[in-house]
A = this chain, B = another copy of it.
Amino acid sequence: MLPPEIQHAPGVRLDHVGVAVRSLEEAVAFYRDILGFAPRPPETADGATIIAMAAGGVDLELLSSADPGSPIGKYVARHGPGIHHLCFRVPDLDLALRRCRDAGYRLINEAPRPGADGRRVAFLHPKATAGILIELSD
């Protein structure tokens, strides 16, 4: 039985899939030339260069970093390239984080921090969620 406030929570949805790559050029060539996606111009965040593309209802984000101390640089050095995180938009970020804490899920960000597009984000620890780094956003 769900708590009443999320019985019919509207709008929880996958926002984007973040993919860590070594070479943006090679990765873009695959998603653009083979699959037919239309990559947008590069952006930067958290020391990474990001090339995003609309993939239906969600975005695919290719992330690369030349800085070995950045989150993406560390990830690729440790795990190699691969799917880095899933970002879910939730109707009420503060409520979702409180519910995580109450249920004992480990958080990377105890409080929301500024993300892209003026939205607030917070990351959950992958140990809490079956090995998946999850970003929540409002």
Chain A residues close to B by CB (< 8 Å): 2-3, 6, 9, 12-15, 17, 19, 21-23, 26-27, 30, 32-37, 55-58, 60, 80-83, 86, 88-91, 96, 99-100, 103, 105, 129-132
Contacts and interface: CB of A to CB of B under 8 A. Distances in A.
A113 B14 CA distance: 28
Tallying the copies of this chain within the complex gives 2
Contacts of A2: 32-33, 36
Given A17-B14, A32-B2, A96-B34, A26 B58 contact: no
A45 B3 CA distance: 32
A56 B14 CA distance: 6
A56 B55 contact: no
